[in-house]
Structure 1
Amino acid sequence: MDILEEIVAWKRLEVERFKETVPATVLYNKVESLQDVAVPSMCRALMTSDSGIIAEFKRRSPSKGWIREDGDAAVIPLDYQKNGASAVSILTDAKYFGGNDGFVQIARQSGVTLPVLYKNFVVDEYQLFQARVCGASAVLLIAAALSRYDCAMLMRTAHEIGLEVLLEIHGAEELEYLDAEPDMCGVNNRNLGTFITDVQNSFVLSEKLPRDICRVSESGIGDAATVCRLRKVGFNGFLIGESFMKEPLPGEALHRFITTMT
């Protein structure tokens, strides 16, 4: 069992435990009351942004352990916003990434008005409702973790409750998942089974992606020159987390990064 399979197996157990604490009907009723509450569009933000940087609040990873155990969701996401991020990604998985849904709520309460990506391993529609309740704008769906049918059904539900979808693929064999018409397509440069990272993966797949879709390159982006090269082949968004989170002041690190892009 590779790490992705391990995480997905755990996630299914975790969701069932969540349902025992907060029954699905309770969560669905909360979302129903939010239907008139709009959230900012992540797709629109990336398509109109000069930088396209999705700055990630990521405290831990399965491969590297704690990156920033004391990372404060009330401080860092807002600093990202103040320093030019186009959107913010917040890890909400607890066991493997040291996150939780409360981090999205805390970021919103601190003053974050940018689009927020709820980044987790979504395997059940219950998690979509969790994302909507805590204030997310978009949710990540990972092709490698889902069947095409399940992915399409989750995407439809996400759209019904006012969430955009960033569909993540890693290889050409997953391009068929795009038939479900996600709002954005993310190319993960990190293999979720082996955790080997190669940004060249985005360049290879760029030629195979639909021309009109919002494209996001994820992982392994360490310098502004790489972002500029990715822009030239059609990418609109660039998800960067670890390189910012490792710095004493992540927001200032983002600012320096964006400055070198101009």
Structure 2
Amino acid sequence: MNILDQIIASKRKEIALKKSVIAINQLENTALFNAKTHSLSKSILNSPFGIIAEHKRHSPSKGTINHSLSVEEVVTGYENAGASGISVLTDSQYFGGSLDDLLLAKVAVNTPLLRKEFIIDEYQILEAKANGADAILLIATVLTQAEIKSLSEFAHSIALEVLLEVHNQEELEKSIMPSLDIIGVNNRNLKTFEVSLQNSIDLIPHLPADFVKISESGLSTIEDIKELQSHGFQGFLIGESLMKTDNPGQALEQFINKLKV
């Protein structure tokens, strides 16, 4: 069993436990559930660089990244630096995150928030809305075409946007449907955790024009961003290279300033 299979198996157990403790109507009755959401896709398109900056403490491939900073410090720094969106990892077992991180981010900033999670159940989408998310991540490699359709349509029904992540053309072809807002090409193989930006370059010609297009993982240099922009990418998800620093917000500000040159 590879790491991705392990994560999904753990997630199924986690969801079953949560459902037994917190009822759906409790999620639907939270203060944030009916709050107006902010459009992540529009925020990306209205920015010259479309940076989605990530709050990420830990990863299975890199181990501890940054446990010393509070959520508020990180996300307010990102917002002040000009991030188009902020991705908050909420998986606890493998990435050291939580839904509390998402809630704290919501209180601290107005920038659109993406719940980055291994979503396999509508319950997790309800959790996302109840804790302040504006958009959710769906990962094509762990979902069937029918699941992508039902989950993305459900997200739209409660005013959440959908970022669909693909790794290859096969995943892309099964996933294209109107209920998506953003398509992200992940440069990291989730089974081996190897990273190659060529993955984005190879897939961009096959991405339909009517979706916002972003590249994810392994992005750490100005040259990476400019190269991918030249191929048509409108946004970029950056996490580890920022979170490895003592001041992720300042690191993002310096990065964006260099992009302006």
Q: What range describes the TM-score normalised by the shorter chain of this pair?
A: over 0.9
Find the aligned partners of 2:209 and 2:246 in 1 and give their Cα distance. 39
Find the aligned partners of 1:62 and 1:50 in 2 and give their Cα distance. 32
Q: Displacement of 1:248 after TM fit?
A: 1.0
Count of residue pairs brought into register by the alignment: 259
Any unmatched runs of 5+ in structure 2? none
CA contact (8 A) 2:50 2:234 kept: yes
Tell me which residue corresponds to 1:233. 231
DSSP-derived class of the 1:141 partner: strand
CA contact (8 A) 2:33 2:132 kept: no
Tell me which residue corresponds to 1:21. 21
Q: Percent identity?
A: 42
Could you tell me which of 111, 115, 125 is aligned with 1:118? 115
Find the aligned partners of 1:86 and 1:44 in 2 and give their Cα distance. 9
1:7-51 superposed Cα distances (whole Å, 9 cap, x missing partner)? 0111011001111110223223448x833x211100000011112
Structure 1 runs (4+) deviating above 6 angstroms are: none
Q: Displacement of 1:151 after TM fit?
A: 1.1
Residue 243 of structure 1 pairs with residue 250 of structure 2: no
CA contact (8 A) 1:202 1:217 kept: yes
Q: Residues 83-162 of structure 1: matches in 2 within 5 Å?
A: 83-110=81-108, 112-162=109-159
Find the aligned partners of 1:71 and 1:121 in 2 and give their Cα distance. 24
Tell me which residue corresponds to 1:8. 8
Find the aligned partners of 1:109 and 1:24 in 2 and give their Cα distance. 22
DSSP-derived class of the 2:13 partner: helix
**After the TM superposition, which of the residue ranges 204-213 and 120-129 deviates more from structure 2?**
204-213
Could you tell me which of 168, 174, 195 is aligned with 1:171? 168
1:74-122 superposed Cα distances (whole Å, 9 cap, x missing partner)? 1101110001111100000000000001111111222x10000000000
CA contact (8 A) 1:59 1:71 kept: no
Find the aligned partners of 2:72 and 2:101 in 1 and give their Cα distance. 8
Could you tell me which of 77, 80, 85 is aligned with 2:75? 77
Q: Displacement of 1:237 after TM fit?
A: 0.9
Q: Displacement of 1:72 after TM fit?
A: 1.0
1:155-196 superposed Cα distances (whole Å, 9 cap, x missing partner)? 010000110000000000011211254100010000001100
Tell me which residue corresponds to 1:58. 56
Find the aligned partners of 2:214 and 2:13 in 1 and give their Cα distance. 30
Q: Which amino acid aligns with 2:2?
A: D
Any unmatched runs of 5+ in structure 1? none
Q: Which amino acid aligns with 2:5?
A: E
Q: Which amino acid aligns with 2:48?
A: D
Find the aligned partners of 1:99 and 1:237 in 2 and give their Cα distance. 23
- Normalising by structure 1, we get a TM-score of 0.96
Q: Which amino acid aligns with 1:173?
A: E
1:132-175 superposed Cα distances (whole Å, 9 cap, x missing partner)? 01101100000001111011100010000110000000000011
